């Protein structure tokens, strides 16, 4: 008990730092859910971000896509398969990409 009284402030700070670290990691980790799409002629990361990014800022969403797919640039090619982060209210039937028909 004397240990806690003597070092309580340090223990509290360690707990606080650990908690903030855990929340930061959870916030910045990649989503567990993703959808794979095949890139069509005319598709761009910015255009995909407009459809898939929900309320996230497009540049941040594009950065996630680049990280998820280990891309070296923002250039994507027709026929390439990409993983895109999926959010709770994603509806695969609501998105029409370039070159696709409903």
> In which band, very low, low, confident or very high, does the pLDDT at 102 lie, cut at 50, 70 and 90?
very low
Q: Same domain, yes or no, for 35 and 73? A: yes
- Using one digit for the tens of pLDDT, what is the confidence trace for 66-97? 998 999 998 999 999 999 987 655 455 555 55
**Residue range(s) defining the domain that contains residue 9:** 1-29
91-99 CB contacts, 8 Å cutoff, 24+ apart: 92/35, 95/51, 95/52, 97/37, 97/40, 97/43, 97/48, 97/51, 98/40, 98/41, 98/42, 98/43, 98/47, 99/40, 99/41, 99/42, 99/43
Based on the fold, state whether residues 25 and 59 are members of the same structural domain: no
Q: Mean pLDDT, to the nearest integer, of 49-65? A: 88
Residues 36 and 21 in one domain: no
- Same domain for 5 and 52: no
One domain, residues 16 and 47: no
Do 17 and 35 reside in the same domain of the chain? Answer: no
């Amino acid at each position: 008990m004397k240990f806690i009284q003597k070092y309580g402030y340090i223990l509290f700070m360690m707990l606080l730092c650990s908690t903030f670290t855990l929340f930061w990691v959870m916030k910045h980790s990649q989503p567990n859910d993703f959808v794979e799409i095949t890139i069509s002629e005319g598709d761009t990361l910015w255009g995909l971000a407009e459809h898939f990014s929900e309320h996230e800022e497009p540049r941040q969403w594009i950065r996630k896509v680049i990280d998820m797919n280990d891309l070296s640039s923002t250039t994507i090619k027709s026929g390439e398969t990409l993983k895109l982060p999926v959010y709770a209210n994603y509806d695969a039937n609501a998105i029409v990409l370039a070159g696709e028909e409903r």
